[in-house]
Structure 1
Amino acid sequence: MAKWTAFPYDSAAYRHDAAALKKHWARLHAGDVEPWPRDEAVQAAWALFHAGEFQKAFDAGLKAGGDGITVANKAQAIHANYLEKSEKARLAMFQQVAERAEAQQAARPQNPNAWYWYAYATGRYSQGISVTKALAQGLGGKVKAALETTIKLAPKHADAHIALGAFHAEVIDKVGKLLGKTQGADAATGLRMYKEALRLNPTSAIAMVEYANGLVMLEGDKRMKEAEKLYADAAACKPMDAMERLDVEMAKAELED
């Protein structure tokens, strides 16, 4: 496998031994409500993920198997989304995550993150090939159904609420409210999902960024001031791990645009 792009920031503050990882677990996983793993190999894979060692976390997660597949999926998806420079490689990575997550759903249908990482990867893949093209291929319905399943299995899954909000906003933004309805997209539902995500995980920079994006997509310039405030709040968040650092840096970039 080609060497992945390294995490570009100092990660010293994000490195944890097993005891520290367990202590911070609830905060680190407020977004995806992943339970604390009993398997020490999976714990070690998660420690690598939080420290920004995404390729090592991916390899360790695959090797551990079981709950480690979730670490591998998250590491590959986050790397692809934030750090992979080749569009072709990004899309291939998202497809790989989706395939593994589908296999995980078949093996463990009650695992919410098997459904979530399928939805995340398929959603990002859809953005890459164009939302309109993805809708024509029926991917929109699959993403929506997988996110709804995630929330049914884990009602406090803040990240799934964010992604479902983004589904409604992006579909309406690309095809309009009328055509969006045929895809199950609804503006009020989208806004409600973003708000619920922030209620569940109020310190989430990515929830703030995505909500800001959604406000502008769904309601235009009249919500721009509110969106800018959300970007500013996100940029001021204190990241607890490498992924959150990437979210905060993205918020800073949005403010500069």
Structure 2
Amino acid sequence: MAAKWTAFPYDDTDYALDAAALKKRWTRLHAGDAEPWPKDAAVVEAWALFHAGEFKKAVDAGLKAGGDGLTVANKAQAIYANYLEKSEKAKLELFLEVAQRAEAQAAAEPTNPNAHYLMAYALGRYSQGISVAKALAQGLGGKVKGALETAIRLAPKHADAHIALGAFHAEVIDKVGKLLGKTQGADAATGLKMFQTALKLNPASAIARVEYANGLVMLEGDKKMKEAERLYAEAAACEPADAMERLDVEMAKAELED
């Protein structure tokens, strides 16, 4: 694990919630990952740390709690690696660690959708880091796609798994073309449908809009630029409910400025 973690950079909004407040807002906060309310108080505490942007503490607390705490630890580490880790080498190591832990969790709890989803998310981000073509050559594409499809089968309302699967189809076609993409099971129409479903499932999601915009540009090119810009603008205007959503919104704002 990276020696020194970068702190959550926005202190203008307080995302700290006690257990009662967290329970009240749980459905809204977990519209993306469909995670059920935890039975264990230690896991609730780990989630509170996650939502507040205390990602390192959330990882430690989740690992210590064990059981469902693993899901918090894996999500906190994956989100931290994606948005805040500055070293490319450390980022890839963090993603691999999450993928390995989530794969073990999925083997132990095959009906846990977020074990499959977080393995796929971490491997997907790792693949982007080493290059999608290289990842496909290593057979990671099939692993990511299979895990996401499993997550959706287990939790049909898992908006984030739909986003990630949409991104898989778009990334593969963007990097290797439609013909070779077919051999990896990638299909443009399926990808676009995944993004649309995700937005229906989680209408408040900034990241659904950002990834949909990215996917449109990858699959349709410049002719979809206007629509992509509209989606980025909508994402930038979303009201973040926690630290992770704040990072999504800030990313959308950065995309608009580019």
Q: Is the shorter-chain TM-score for this pair beyond 0.5, marking a shared fold?
A: yes
Corresponding letter in the other structure for 2:83: Y
Map 1:2-151 to 2 at 5 A.
Answer: 2-10=3-11, 12-151=13-152
Contact 1:11 1:51 in 2 (8 A): no
Give secondary structure in 2 for the equivalent of 1:14: coil
**Residue 3 of structure 1: how far off its partner (Å):** 2.1
Give secondary structure in 1 for the equivalent of 2:185: coil
Quote the residue 2:208 is aligned against.
207
Contact 1:172 1:186 in 2 (8 A): yes
Q: Whole-Å Cα distance in 2 between the matches of residues 106 and 188 of structure 1?
A: 31
Q: Whole-Å Cα distance in 1 between the matches of residues 167 and 10 of structure 2?
A: 27
Quote the residue 1:232 is aligned against.
233
Q: Whole-Å Cα distance in 1 between the matches of residues 22 and 199 of structure 2?
A: 24
**Residue 38 of structure 1: how far off its partner (Å):** 1.1
Contact 1:28 1:241 in 2 (8 A): yes
Q: Structure 2-normalised TM-score?
A: 0.99
CA RMSD of aligned residues (A): 0.7
Corresponding letter in the other structure for 1:128: G
Deviations along 1:153-188, whole A, 9 cap, x unmatched? 000000000000000000000000011000000000
User: Is residue 174 of structure 2 the alignment partner of residue 166 of structure 1?
Assistant: no
Residue segments in structure 1 that go unaligned for 5+ positions in a row: none
Give secondary structure in 2 for the equivalent of 1:13: coil
Q: Whole-Å Cα distance in 2 between the matches of residues 39 and 141 of structure 1?
A: 34
Corresponding letter in the other structure for 2:234: D
Contact 1:11 1:52 in 2 (8 A): no
Query: In structure 2, do the counterparts of structure 1 residues 34 and 208 end up closer, same or farther at CA, with 3 Å as the change threshold?
Result: same
Quote the residue 2:252 is aligned against.
251
Q: Whole-Å Cα distance in 2 between the matches of residues 108 and 183 of structure 1?
A: 27
Deviations along 1:215-235, whole A, 9 cap, x unmatched? 000001111000000000000
Q: Whole-Å Cα distance in 1 between the matches of residues 17 and 65 of structure 2?
A: 19
Quote the residue 2:195 is aligned against.
194
Contact 1:11 1:242 in 2 (8 A): no
**Residue 10 of structure 1: how far off its partner (Å):** 1.5
**Residue 11 of structure 1: how far off its partner (Å):** 6.2
**Residue 12 of structure 1: how far off its partner (Å):** 4.5
Quote the residue 1:220 is aligned against.
221
Query: In structure 2, do the counterparts of structure 1 residues 216 and 74 end up closer, same or farther at CA, with 3 Å as the change threshold?
Result: same
Q: Whole-Å Cα distance in 1 between the matches of residues 111 and 42 of structure 2?
A: 22
Deviations along 1:97-129, whole A, 9 cap, x unmatched? 000001101111100000000000000000000
**Residue 13 of structure 1: how far off its partner (Å):** 2.6
Identity %: 82
Q: Whole-Å Cα distance in 2 between the matches of residues 173 and 153 of structure 1?
A: 28
Give secondary structure in 1 for the equivalent of 2:14: helix
Q: Structure 1-normalised TM-score?
A: 0.99
Q: Whole-Å Cα distance in 2 between the matches of residues 225 and 40 of structure 1?
A: 46
Corresponding letter in the other structure for 1:26: T
Q: Whole-Å Cα distance in 2 between the matches of residues 200 and 12 of structure 1?
A: 26
Equivalent pairs counted in the alignment come to 257
Q: Whole-Å Cα distance in 2 between the matches of residues 220 and 12 of structure 1?
A: 37
